[in-house]
Every structure is written in structure tokens, then in C-alpha cells.
Structure 1
């Protein structure tokens, strides 16, 4: 019977994820990097009440502070699953992120325990490495019990069943590497700059992360049940510091993903008219617009609407190029196009028989 429930749950998830991908394909993403911020719990669900503090209130204040800081960046769009004290179903939180075709989903929570446990930890979706992780996931997943028709919405998922929780991982590893990278950046900010106790990056079966089709993390800011830490997280100072640390980690992740590399091949001399107009059969010019340690789909929505994007892996970096031409004059026009699109540091790169050469060498060939 339990197996049948899991199979039904998985089939519903497949339908859900497939429909989400369909919507994403139909949605033409704009120029902005989209971050969905999720304040855990809310409304009739207070979350943990450790130390007399309410998790739902602290999570919301931190999320609003993160969003306020991120919104100072014109190329970032922030979407909230809630901006006030209301209850939002877990599956709807994922739907919000998927419909927005978000680049990141970040869920913020607080912890509690009947011991002196303290410190920050950041979770990605995965199998439980310990009983402690399982219990944390079960506690957060039990939020669905506040929802109407939760058995229907989650295909009979039982938050208290280890089998149900483990079933979440099947087929959900596509964004794991990026999620772990973001989680690591967040933990580094917490521990190295704020000197919070480091409870590491961990994996557990959080259903709210399972609902999303993008890199996603769940942050446990700390333990409200710990007298000193609870007071810190309930303070304006503590909330602002944690929010700034998360904001900085998001920006670093974004910069790592789209890392533009300085041009090593610019020539200072203006090429003569013969070189500008010459057509070279074995030399092509492209415009490098970005480089990244991660492989990114060469779709227009990832590159500010530009088509004709190509990708080359060079050592540990993926380099992204716009256009291709055999004349330098056309290459200059392509360079102007990428700068108008927003890639202000885009530059011309030359290739001879598929191998990169210096721009000065290419122009000398054109002049001969």
C-alpha cells in the first residue's frame, strides 16, 4: 500500500514538473536575474516557537531585508512567495518560482531543539545522511498538514514516512551542483564574516525544494531555542546581518555564473581599411560576451535576448560568443550589438581554422 502511494505521488510530480517545463519554454525571459525569496511558514502556521520567538515573523523580516538589498541591483528581479503574515501552501511556493522561470529559489527558516544546539546550516535537496537531517525535513514538511486537500495535492505524501521523503530525490538531481555551490557561499558568509557556528551544507528531503525546477536551497538561520542565538535572530541587528550575508552570497553566485573575462587580444593600432574590409576564408571573428565555470544553455533568454550564441569549453571555463563573420568590419557591428544588449565588456575574438589567435595576428593576415 505504501509503495502504491509513492508511485502515485511520483506520477503526480512528473506531471507537475512536465507542465512547469512547458510553461518555462513558452515564457520568454527578460534581461533580469530572477530570485524567488520564500519566508517559511506564515499565517496559521507559526513554525517553531523556540525561546518564545515566532519563526514565521523572523523568517519574513529577514526575507524582506534580503529583497530590499537585492532590489538595489537593476539587473535583478525579486519575487516573494509572501510579503506579509499569510499562509501559503508549499506546492504554491514552488509554482510561483516555476512560473517566473526563476534563476534561484531560497527558502528561509529558523530551527529549534531541546538541547543547546546552535548555529546556521543550509540544505539542498537530497537523501538524509543522518537521523537529525531526517527529523528536520519531517518537521518542515509537516507544514502540508495545515493545507486543505494535502493528500490530493501531494499524491498521498506522508511527511512522517521516511519512504515518502526518500522518494522526493528520484529524478531531481539536475540542479544539485548549483544548489550546493550557492549553499556553500551562504555558509561561508555566515561563518567567516558573521562568525556563526557552522553546521555545514547538508542534504535532506524538503518537499518545498522538490517543487522547484531551478537551483534551490533552504536556510536554517539558527536555533530560536538557544538563548543567545534566539535573541540575536529576533533582533534587528541580527536579522540585518544575516540578510546581508545571504544577499552577498547570491551576488557572488550570480557573478560566478556570468563571469566576463577581460580581453587579452585587443590591438591598440587602428587597422587600415584593407584589413577592415578583407574577407578571410580561414579566419572568423566572434564576440566574446561571457565566461562561466558552469555550462549555460545557449538560449536567448540566458543572454539578454541575443540569438546565435555559441559555447566553447577552454580549460575549466565555458566561453560564450555571439555571431560569426569573416570580416572585421562586420565584427565591429556585432560588437556594437552586444554592447547595446547590455554586454558592455564584450570584445572581438579571432579564430583561424577553429583555433583562437590574437586579433593583431588576424588583422595582419587581412592586410597581406
Structure 2
């Protein structure tokens, strides 16, 4: 009897342990989103007075939309929602960033409203991701959002010594954000697409901007400007129940789409058949061609870390007829191809298009070579490149010296040699098509 009782107790304990493990695994699978209602408390954000609405404060609109968005997300059992504020209080920029990092958020979304002072004409939505400023546009946005640091002494210590224009800061920024930039751009493109397609609003696009509330986040992060409070039409929309519901729903659908893409990618990367020790076949059938996203064609030769490429990784450069063609990513899956196009457009390459490359196809006429370096003066006898490689060719054109190496019929062979040379210390190589 005691033995049976002991077995029964062991079964209970075993079942309890399994339940705990199961609950723990489910908890780990939670997709954690930090929702940040911009401004709050002593920081009203941008504001404009209207006779029929009274004072429309950014902090009130951002909180209202955040709570509506959170309510939609909380209905999904696979999503955990954390708020930086749920009332009219002011968390510092440091508090918001620290919270997101502490909970290891999967996504950080900061909601804001735009303003143009006395100008009533500007309108539309725009989504910002953290990155080096590409030009002098939208300086008002950066100034307005970053000036909040002066409201809090701790923020002043934490952020104000940072010089966003120094070369050291730009390099550090690129290294820090490159891991999350592409994911942020992809999510931002989903948000802006929904504002256009669902709500029939004007999108001003997805842009990179150096914003302190995003800068220290260790996860994909966006700052969404939901519209201009200074524009009468948009102010009425932003202050209305209907407008806030539409905005919340569009952002919610973008989150779900992004979450599905991320989880699909993680499943594909981790899917493994333990029986035969081989990867399982993906459900999606591969395309016949490999696809790269053409970002731009230009006579300018940029290094792969140049700001002109807007922080994108996996850049492939091919030279044809004195034009450098910059491509982003490579895949033979339609879903990834389409997402790569979205990411490129989100980064600012509005004319980005996917181009097919036939695998292992030989050039009927001509060949590929590797353009190693372009210089104003001839390389000296002590040149690292010339001492490392035999058979480097030098030509002079347009007042510059072009150094090339190799002769390849297939692009894959050129790429393999390029990778080998990169390991030996020769970087920023361009594949040139010669016909």
C-alpha cells in the first residue's frame, strides 16, 4: 500500500514538474512589446488650441492611442504588453529605455504626434528608426523629441554629452544599431503601409533619425509620428475616438504581421530533424532564381559602411558600364525577397526593386573581374595588395587608377574569390562585369 502511494505521489510530482516546464516554455515564447506613450506629465509635447476642441495636447493623444493599442494586443495570449506609462505622468527617456532593456523586449514602439508651430499646412504620418541623420530634413522632429532630456537631471547626465555629429558617435551608432536596423525598418514599413492602405492617410515614409529615446534600446525600435496636431484636419482626427481606434488597429495589424515574419524566420533557422541530423524542408518552395534588391545605380563608389547606404548590411556591389549597382540581400524565397524590398524602401530607397540572378549561369560574351581599389595615385611597391596578389591589372580612366584582379565566367566564382580575399584583409571589393 505504501509502495502504491509512493508511486502515486511520484506521478503527481512528475506531472507537476511537466506543468512547470510547460508553463516556463510558454512564458519564454511570449513576444514582449513595450508601448511608450510619448511625453506625459510636465511634458505636454506639441499642442494646438482649437475653438471646438480646446487644447489638443500630444501627451493626451499618445496615451489614448497607446491604451487602445495595448487593449488589442492583450487579447493575444502569445503577446506580453508592457507600458512605460498608463497615466498622465512623465517617465524620463532613461526610464523608458531602461525598462525596455530590462524586460528584454522584442519590440519597442514610441507613439508621438507631429507639430509645425504656426504652420497649418504640413500633414501626414512618418515612422522613425534610429540611425545616422541622412540629411537636414526633419530636424524639427529630432530637436523636439531630443530636447526632452533637459526636463530631467538624470537624462541630462546620460544623454547631453553625446555629440551626434562627431565621427566617433556615428561609427558607434552604426555598430550599435546595425543589428536591429533592418528589423526596425521592416516593421516601420508595415506601419506606414497600413496608414495608407487601411486609413487612407498620407505617409511621409520611414526615416532614420538620431533620437535619444531609441538610441540605447537593445531591440528593434520605432518612433511613430501619428499626424500633425498643428494641422486642423489631422488634429480633429487624432483627437477623435474613431481616429484613435483606426490608428491603433493599423499599428496592431503591423505588429501581428511583423511578429509572424520574425517567428517564421526563427522557425526556419531552428527547424532541425534530429532523426537524420539534417534540416527539415521549408514549406515555402524556392524560386528558380536568386533575388537581390537593387538600391541604386550611380557612378559613385561607396564603401559598404558609407552613410549613403543608410545602415543596411549584406550589400553586394556590381559595376556595369562605369555604373556601380548596389544590391541588398540575396534569397530564393519569395517571402524574404518581398520583405527585403520593404526593408530597402523603409530605409529610404523608394525605387528599390528585386532583380533575379540565374544561379551558375556563365556569361556568353565577356567575364567578371574584381575591382580591388580605385586610387588618385599609383600604388607603391610596398602596397599590401600588390605584394599579396600576382596578376593585378592597372588601368587609368577619368584621372584615376583602377586595380582589378581575376577573370571569371560565373558570378559565383567571383564571389567565392572575393570572400577569400576579404579573409586576407582586402575589403570593399566590387565585382565588375566586362563585356
TM-score range with shorter-chain normalisation?
0.5 to 0.7
Q: Which of 78, 82, 86 is 1:83 aligned to?
A: 86
Equivalent residue number for residue 216 of structure 1: 221
- In structure 2, the residue matched to 1:169 is 173
Cα shift at 1:151? 3.1
- Residue by residue, what CA displacement relative to the aligned partner does 1:341-368 show, whole Å, maximum 9, x if unpaired? xxxxxxxxxxxxxxxxxxxxxxxxxxxx
Over the aligned positions, Cα root-mean-square deviation in angstroms equals 3.3
TM-aligned CA distance change 1:289 to 1:241, over 3 Å: same
Query: Which residue number corresponds to residue 346 of structure 2?
Result: none
- Measure the CA separation in 2 of the matches of 1:60 and 1:230: 15
Check 1:155–1:47 CA distance in 2 against 1; reply closer, same or farther (3 A cut): closer
Alignment of 1:194-273 (within 5 A): 194-259=199-264
- Shift in Å, 1:154: 2.3
Residue 309 of structure 1 aligns with which residue? none
Q: What displacement does 1:31 show?
A: 1.9
Q: Partner of 1:43 in structure 2?
A: 41
Is the alpha carbon distance of 1:151 and 1:66 closer, same or farther for their aligned partners in structure 2, counting shifts above 3 Å? same
Matched, 1:128 2:133: yes
In the TM superposition, residue 157 of structure 1 has moved relative to its aligned partner by: 3.6
* 1:130 Cα offset (Å): 3.2
Shift of 1:149: 3.5
2:394 paired residue number: none
Q: Is 1:99 equivalent to 2:102 in the alignment?
A: yes
Alignment of 1:287-302 (within 5 A): none
Q: 1:136 to 1:290 in 2, by over 3 A?
A: farther
Measure how far apart 1:165 and its partner are. 12
Are the structure 2 counterparts of residues 164 and 108 from structure 1 closer, same or farther at C-alpha, using a change threshold of 3 Å?
farther
In structure 2, how many angstroms separate the alpha carbons of the residues matched to 1:155 and 1:194? 38
| 1:69 matched residue in structure 2 | 72
Q: Which runs of 4+ in 1 moved over 6 A?
A: 285-291
Matches of 1:54 and 1:79, distance apart in 2: 23
Higher relative contact order (CA 8 A, sep 6+): 1
Counterpart pick for 1:59 among 59, 62, 68: 62
Q: Tell me, yes or no, if structure 1 residue 148 matches structure 2 residue 190.
A: no
Larger radius of gyration: 2
Q: Tell me the secondary structure at the aligned position of residue 173 of structure 1.
A: helix
Q: How far apart are the structure 1 equivalents of 2:223 and 2:75?
A: 23
**How many Å separate the matches in 2 of 1:44 and 1:87?**
7
Report the Cα offset of residue 91 of structure 1.
1.3
Once the two structures are TM-superposed, the CA of residue 54 in structure 1 deviates from its matched residue by 0.3
**What is the rounded CA distance, in whole Å, between the counterparts of 1:149 and 1:214 in structure 2?**
23
Is contact 1:157–1:164 with CA below 8 Å preserved after alignment?
no
In structure 2, the CA distance between the partners of 1:165 and 1:128, relative to structure 1 (3 Å rule), is: farther
Aligned to 1:335: none
Q: Structure 1 residues 288 and 94 mapped into 2: Cα distance closer, same or farther (>3 Å)?
A: farther
Q: For residues 194-230 of structure 1, what are the alpha-carbon distances to aligned partners after superposition, in whole Å with 9 as ceiling and x for unaligned?
A: 0111101111111111120000000000000000100
Query: Residue 30 of structure 1: CA displacement?
Result: 1.4
The answer for unaligned runs of 5 or more in structure 2 is 1-25, 50-54, 268-274, 287-329, 337-435
How far apart are residue 58 of structure 1 and its match?
0.3
Partner SS state of residue 127, structure 1 = coil
Shift of 1:169: 2.5
Matched position secondary structure for 1:200? strand
SS, match of residue 248 in structure 2 = helix
Number of residues of Structure 1 aligned to a counterpart in Structure 2: 252
Partner secondary structure for residue 142 of structure 1? helix
Deviations 1:135-162 (A, max 9, x none): 211110101110024332226247xx75
Task: Please point out which of 184, 204, 211 is paired with 1:179.
Answer: 184
Runs of 5+ unmatched residues, structure 1: 1-27, 263-279, 294-312, 320-368
In 2, Cα distance between equivalents of 1:95 and 1:317: 37
**Counterpart contact for 2:132–2:174, Cα < 8 Å:** no
Asked if structure 1 preserves the Cα contact closer than 8 Å seen for 2:38 and 2:62, the reply is yes
Does the residue aligned with 1:118 lie in a helix, a strand or coil? coil
Are the structure 2 counterparts of residues 284 and 170 from structure 1 closer, same or farther at C-alpha, using a change threshold of 3 Å? Answer: closer
